[in-house]
């Protein structure tokens, strides 16, 4: 079975991080999230992957190529204009088989996929939606279900008092090719606002099944921070690309930690990172590969992507830095979410 990854959204709620960098490529535990998705699919026995992309497709293509580095085969369905979630699936139709998986690429989960696929086989559904339950469903697609699992109503982002339940679309679908007949070609179509309601009305073939385990939509900076707390606390068990040198202190290859540096766990430090003497790093801090941290820097509850440079004596608290950001000596930043500034901040 093939899997289609919807990776073409603009990621507006994660700006400025996603201004020059597609949201599904946001680093999660120091690797692009999309790479974790590819690894998860491979573990689940799915080795044929199609990526539906629009925004900055080159970043994604250059990173993954044909997928052979991960032992999978990756193809790309590129949209000329933004087609929406259903339009993107329709656009990828020539690359898909009779039955396939669709995943929102910004969904953080590692749920077993076989039970969802089995349920789909048995129920005779055209589309089966993986569901999860949340406290506040108003930011998601909310379902009302009949006992068999059939979905009687699907409402995208309802006001809280109008939500029919707390059960939401987790952004994972098993779909039959036949369902694509319900999507008009060559225009923007939202699967949540148009296609699901149409399927309910005209076919009754929309089903849902609860998924287990950790689930998070990383679409806002608050959720992105929470995700990293959960990784460092092991609430969300994610395979990290670094050795655990001490309790909850993970350090990548060839990192150089200066004398007198205090690391307050939990902390993840990437490969080839250099940290100057007497700096204090942590807690809840992630430092990307090839970052250079000067002497006497303080960095707490912050996430830095790759190749950032933080000069001597700077202090960071609750910050998120995109790739290649440079911060001059003795700056103090609190709760800043920043992307690269030409010439750095000096
Ligand atoms: N290729 C392509 N083209 N991908 C798209 C497009 C498009 O035009 N529009 C959105 N996507 C991708 C995004 O990159 C993301 O991975 C996924 O589709 C969902 O889009 P979001 O913009 O993140 O939607 P959302 O988070 O507001 O809501 C969706 O996800 C919720 C679960 O997190 C909906 O599917 C909700 O019903 C669902 O509950
Ligand atoms: Mg989302």
Does any ligand 1 atom lie closer than 6 A to the CB of residue 217? yes
Residue given tokens 């395979």 in the structure block = 239
Three-state secondary structure call for residue 326: strand
| pLDDT over 90 (residue 340) | no
Does any ligand 1 atom lie closer than 6 A to the CB of residue 89? no
Does any ligand 1 atom lie closer than 6 A to the CB of residue 83? yes
| 8 Å CB contact between 271 and 290 | yes
Q: Report the chain's C-alpha Rg in angstroms.
A: 21
Ligand 1 pocket test: pick from 106, 151, 208 the residue with the most ligand atoms within 8 Å of its Cβ: 106
Angle of helix 33-43 relative to helix 57-64, nearest 10 degrees?
A: 50
Give the tens place of pLDDT for each residue, 250-263: 999 999 999 999 99
Q: How many Cβ atoms sit within 10 Å of the Cβ of residue 53?
A: 25
| pLDDT over 80 (residue 293) | yes
Q: Whose CA is nearest to atom 17 of ligand 1?
A: 104
User: What is the pLDDT at residue 343?
Assistant: 63
Mean pLDDT throughout 288-312? 98
Does any ligand 1 atom lie closer than 6 A to the CB of residue 52? yes
The CATH-assigned architecture of domain 240-338 is 3 Solenoid (2.160)
CATH class, range 2-221: alpha beta
Cα-to-centroid distance, 219 and ligand 2 (Å): 5
Cα-to-centroid distance, 287 and ligand 1 (Å): 28
Give the tens place of pLDDT for each residue, 53-62: 986 678 899 9
User: What is the pLDDT at residue 173?
Assistant: 98
Calpha distance 335→146 (Å, rounded): 44
Q: How many Cβ atoms sit within 10 Å of the Cβ of residue 147?
A: 5
Cα-to-centroid distance, 20 and ligand 1 (Å): 18
Q: Which residues make beta-bridge pairs with 153?
A: 144
Mean pLDDT rounded to a whole number for the chain: 94
Atom of ligand 1 nearest to the CA of 171: 32
| pLDDT over 90 (residue 292) | yes
| 8 Å CB contact between 158 and 138 | yes
Does any ligand 1 atom lie closer than 6 A to the CB of residue 9? yes
Which residues belong to CATH 3.90.550.10 in the chain?
Answer: 2-221
Give the tens place of pLDDT for each residue, 204-243: 899 999 998 899 988 888 999 999 999 999 999 898 989 9
Calpha distance 159→182 (Å, rounded): 27
What does the block give as tokens for 313?
Answer: 């004596």
Calpha distance 59→225 (Å, rounded): 23
Calpha distance 156→140 (Å, rounded): 6
User: What is the pLDDT at residue 20?
Assistant: 72
User: What is the pLDDT at residue 19?
Assistant: 73
Residue given tokens 């032992």 in the structure block = 71
Q: Which residues make beta-bridge pairs with 1?
A: none
Does any ligand 1 atom lie closer than 6 A to the CB of residue 102? no
| 8 Å CB contact between 295 and 309 | no
Calpha distance 9→23 (Å, rounded): 7
Query: How large a percentage of the chain has pLDDT more than 90?
Result: 85
- Please, is 344 exposed, middle or buried when counting C-beta atoms within 10 Å of its C-beta (0-12, 13-18, 19+)? middle
Q: How many Cβ atoms sit within 10 Å of the Cβ of residue 168?
A: 24
Does any ligand 1 atom lie closer than 6 A to the CB of residue 5? no
Can you count the helices (H) and strands (E) in the chain? 6, 30
pLDDT band with cut points at 50, 70 and 90 for residue 342: low
What does the block give as tokens for 142?
Answer: 């909310």
User: What is the pLDDT at residue 46?
Assistant: 96
What does the block give as tokens for 262?
Answer: 């205090």
Which residues belong to CATH 2.160.10.10 in the chain?
Answer: 240-338
User: What is the pLDDT at residue 212?
Assistant: 87
Give the tens place of pLDDT for each residue, 180-208: 999 999 899 999 999 999 999 999 899 99
| pLDDT over 90 (residue 274) | yes
Does any ligand 1 atom lie closer than 6 A to the CB of residue 14? no
pTM value surpassing 0.95: no
| 8 Å CB contact between 10 and 56 | no
Cα-to-centroid distance, 85 and ligand 1 (Å): 6
Does any ligand 1 atom lie closer than 6 A to the CB of residue 137? no
CA distances from 192 to 16, 67, 98, 127, 156 (A): 26, 29, 21, 12, 6
Q: Which residues make beta-bridge pairs with 216?
A: 108
Give the tens place of pLDDT for each residue, 305-318: 999 999 999 999 99
Calpha distance 315→299 (Å, rounded): 6
Give the tens place of pLDDT for each residue, 4-29: 999 987 667 777 777 777 888 999 99
Mean pLDDT throughout 118-129? 96
| 8 Å CB contact between 35 and 81 | no
User: What is the pLDDT at residue 41?
Assistant: 96
């Amino acid at each position: 079975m093939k899997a289609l990854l919807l990776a073409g959204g603009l990621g507006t709620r994660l700006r400025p991080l996603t201004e020059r960098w597609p949201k599904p490529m946001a680093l999660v535990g120091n690797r692009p999230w999309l790479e974790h998705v590819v690894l998860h699919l491979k573990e689940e026995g799915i080795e044929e992957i199609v990526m539906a992309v629009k925004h900055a497709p080159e970043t994604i293509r250059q990173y993954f190529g044909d997928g052979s580095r991960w032992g999978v085969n990756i193809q790309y369905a590129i949209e000329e204009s933004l087609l929406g979630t259903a339009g993107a699936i329709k656009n990828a139709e020539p690359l898909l088989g009779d039955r396939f998986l669709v995943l929102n690429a910004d969904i953080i989960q590692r749920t077993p996929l076989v039970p969802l696929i089995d349920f789909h086989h048995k129920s005779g559904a055209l589309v089966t939606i993986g569901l999860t339950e949340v406290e506040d469903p108003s930011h998601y697609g909310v379902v009302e279900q009949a006992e068999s699992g059939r979905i009687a109503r699907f409402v995208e982002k309802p006001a809280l008092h109008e939500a029919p339940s707390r059960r939401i679309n987790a952004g994972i679908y098993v779909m039959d090719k036949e369902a694509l007949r319900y999507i008009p070609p060559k225009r923007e179509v939202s699967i949540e606002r148009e296609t699901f309601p149409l399927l309910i009305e005209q076919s009754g073939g929309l089903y849902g099944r609860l998924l287990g385990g950790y689930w998070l939509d990383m679409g806002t900076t608050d959720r992105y921070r929470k995700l990293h707390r959960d990784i460092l606390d092991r609430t969300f068990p994610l395979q990290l690309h670094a050795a655990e040198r001490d309790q909850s202190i993970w350090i990548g290859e060839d990192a150089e930690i200066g004398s007198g540096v205090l690391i307050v766990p939990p902390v993840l430090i990437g490969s080839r990172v250099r940290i100057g003497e007497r700096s204090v790093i942590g807690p809840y801090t992630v430092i990307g590969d090839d970052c250079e941290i000067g002497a006497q820097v303080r960095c707490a509850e912050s996430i830095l992507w790759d190749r950032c440079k933080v000069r001597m004596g700077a202090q960071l608290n609750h910050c998120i830095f995109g790739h290649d950001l440079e911060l001059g000596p003795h700056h103090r930043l609190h709760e800043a979410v920043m992307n690269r500034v030409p010439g750095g901040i000096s």
